[in-house]
Amino acid sequence: MRIALFFILTFNLQLVQASDFDYNGLRKLYIEASNNEVECQKLFKLTEESILEENILAYSYHAISKMLISKFALNPLFKYSEFNAGKEMLEKAISSDPNNLELRFLRYCMQINTPKFLNYNDDLESDSLFITRQLESNVELKSFINPIFNAL
């Protein structure tokens, strides 16, 4: 009985943690963080405690925040290591959920805006095709993705 109660409480706690995020707010913050260091730091702090297995979306936004932080950093070694750490995290998230439209869109945005010498552009074509095919059937993400995707 105690074991069953423990699992029920643990499961409920995980659901609460996963629903702690206002995803529309997170998406807005991502847009602002793309060109604003202060907003980028906010995104980083907001998602810092995210764990892949508990909240893949928040974890992915944390990966993106690490990559964006590298954009604002002055130290080239720090820039490179933060970018690679974020890239590794994002790729890990996409590997665990390759059909997640939002994750593929985030990767597309990063790859299209990453300098060529970083060699992070292998998935541009496949992500673009995936986004185009999946977008019509996802009403929730359409209003977030369409304006950005069409502007890129």
pLDDT(15) > 50? no
For 81-104, b/e burial (b = at least 16 CB within 10 A) is ebbeebbebbeebbeeeeebbbbb
> What are 50-105's pLDDT values in tens digits?
999 999 999 999 999 999 999 999 999 999 999 999 999 999 999 999 999 999 99
pLDDT score, position 51: 95
Where residue 119 falls (left for φ over 0; alpha for ψ -120 to 50; beta otherwise) is: left
